[in-house]
Amino acid sequence: MKKMNFKSYVPAPAVELESRDWPDKRITKAPYWCSVDLRDGNQALDIPMNPEQKKEMFLLLCDIGFKEIEVGFPSASQTDFDFLRVLIDEKLIPDDVTIQVLTQAREHLIRRTFEALDGVKNAIVHMYNSVSVLQRDVVFNMSKAEITKIAVDGASLVKKISDEINNPGIRFEYSPESFTGTELDYALEVSHRVMDIFQPTKEKKLILNLPATVEMSTPNIYADQIEWFCKHVRNRDTVLISLHAHNDRGTAVAASELAVMAGADRVEGTLFGNGERTGNMDIVTMALNLFSQGVDPELDFSDIDHVKKVYTAATGMSVHPRHPYAGELVYTAFSGSHQDAINKGLKKRKERRDTIWGVPYLPINPEDVGRTYQSIIRINSQSGKGGVAYIMANDYGYNLPKKMHPEFGKIIQRVTEKLGSEISSRKIWEIFQEEYLKRQTPYELKHIKILMDADSAHAASEGLTTVEGILRYGVKDMEISMKGNGPIDAFLKGINAVISSPVTLTSYSEHDMAGGSDSTAVSYISLKNKDGMECYGVGTDSNISMASIKAVVSALNRLEVG
């Protein structure tokens, strides 16, 4: 086998920090969020969004609560230019939303960007140029001074045009692109030169966006870089430090979280992490991570399936079934022990009326994102009896007695093993009906009459209840007429007098079914035959005595089948 040549890679350099404060910090409030779905996310689609899809996505982002939305790169794409015009001309931008547009630090592109922005109320002009060691060397073949000049010239033109326009709603963002591949002191130097031009103030801050254009290190190194930058940047209170992490190592969310702990104020990202290569930082995950720590994310994902629906229709991308918080399978437990624990957790929570969430294996309450409990438990051959019992109780209102769980659990397990796949709640219900409720062979109850005797003296000697009826076995009708301490006792005595192998009652329980106008009783009865074989029967009826008698016949039939 060919060996992978790891020696051609070098580790990311460590950051020299006199003191490293971020590990002791907590995130206690949401950062300023900026969605870059319509720019970075859109650029990464094989078929970019059409104007209608862009509009749908924009409206969704506004509904979710984004206050800053990068809507395109209008100087590089006519579609983006036109879309921006639609947003402005059709007055689709809510007053509290600021749109953001990207431009390279090049004169004709900057001029075209301002043309696209004509008449806008609030906008961020986001200018970038690549500053990294690698880009300077292999792409531009330029010195640091030449790269700095691109940034300075670009910023000067942006400032000049906006001074001419004199629109107080226009703010500025500068990205030293590929920041994480740049010497920190050089990234700081370029940023300071750009700050010199924009002259930001506490009231009108400059956004300094420090991108992990390609994710090149463990998240702690990004956090170190951000902490270093925050501690060294001049007039820290006149800039907003922004993050823009890509996900090449699969840790963009972690990197952004640690970098917020390290002092960043603002986070750029996309829904479900769409973006170049492995994507941008996933805002859904980061926001819901905050939520799960008791922090208001200031974004509304209370109907995550709707967000997913609009996102997939607009982008043509799918959301992985195991995507944090949003995937189809993330509130589903397959393992029996997990199902059992979830079952107990949900029950205790209800009983205790807990207000703080704490259910094993469910980091958040699925209802908080518009998902339901019904889909939590699916049954496959690895599921335990607890899962099956949960489905019966939760989906159909049958609280099977504890001793019955293994019996029905085995029946379902046999089916799932044969199928080799999971089984739906509906199928479990069908099996339950066939197995317990609908069995009419070989014994069938043709007719039954229950007579209660109120005479207690009589009752003491012979029993209070008389049961009369006809029980058919195959084609043979057998008459039953017997007294007993109650309908079950009388019926059992009656059938033992006519069947070939007598049975004894080993357990009995019943409950009412919740819901519906007339309440139905459910009875669970287990019988044992002379060979020691024991099994359950279930009966339902509006009359509890009838439900019990049906349960006896059900158990009798099941014993017969073996």
β-strands 521-528, 504-512 pairing: antiparallel
**Helix residue spans in 316-404 (DSSP H):** 336-352, 385-396
CB 113 within 8 A of CB 103: yes
If one asks whether residue 128 binds ligand KIV (CB under 6 A), the answer comes out as yes
Site for Zn ion in 37-56 (CB under 5 A): 40
**Residue 241, contacted partner among ligand KIV, Zn ion, none, CB below 5-8 A by kind:** none
**C-alpha separations of 513 from 172, 519, 547 in Å:** 64, 6, 12
Pick from 37, 177, 227, 340 the residue near ligand KIV by CB under 6 A: 177
Smallest separation, CB 137 to ligand KIV (Å):
18
Interface region with ligand KIV, contact rule CB under 6 A, candidates 5-13, 192-200, 209-217, 536-544: 209-217
Site for Zn ion in 493-522 (CB under 5 A): none
DSSP string, 179-207: GGGS-HHHHHHHHHHHHHHH---SSSPEE
Site for ligand KIV in 253-292 (CB under 6 A): none
Smallest separation, CB 83 to ligand KIV (Å):
18
Distance from C-alpha of 393 to C-alpha of 331, rounded to nearest angstrom: 19
Distance from C-alpha of 388 to C-alpha of 47, rounded to nearest angstrom: 45
> Using DSSP, how many helices (H) and how many strands (E) does the chain show?
18, 14
CB 45 within 8 A of CB 272: no
Smallest separation, CB 173 to Zn ion (Å):
13
- Contact characters 312-341, ligand KIV, x per CB under 6 A: ------------------------------
Smallest separation, CB 252 to ligand KIV (Å):
11
- Contact characters 1-40, Zn ion, x per CB under 5 A: ---------------------------------------x
Residue 211 or residue 273: which is nearer to ligand KIV going by CB? Answer: 211
**Residue 177, contacted partner among Zn ion, ligand KIV, none, CB below 5-8 A by kind:** ligand KIV
Q: Which two tokens stand for residue 372?
A: 């339901």
Q: Which of 211, 196, 273 is nearest to 243 (CA)?
A: 211
To the nearest 10 degrees (0 to 180), the angle between helices 385-396 and 405-419 is 100
Site for ligand KIV in 76-105 (CB under 6 A): 102
Pick from 55, 171, 246, 483 the residue near ligand KIV by CB under 6 A: 246
Pick from 244, 323, 338, 371 the residue near ligand KIV by CB under 6 A: 244
**Residue 339, contacted partner among ligand KIV, Zn ion, none, CB below 5-8 A by kind:** none
Pick from 42, 129, 213, 413 the residue near ligand KIV by CB under 6 A: 213
CB 510 within 8 A of CB 502: no
Run of H or E residues at 89:
helix 78-89
- Summarize as ranges the residues that interact with ligand KIV (CB under 6 A): 40, 102, 128, 175, 177, 209, 211, 213, 244, 246
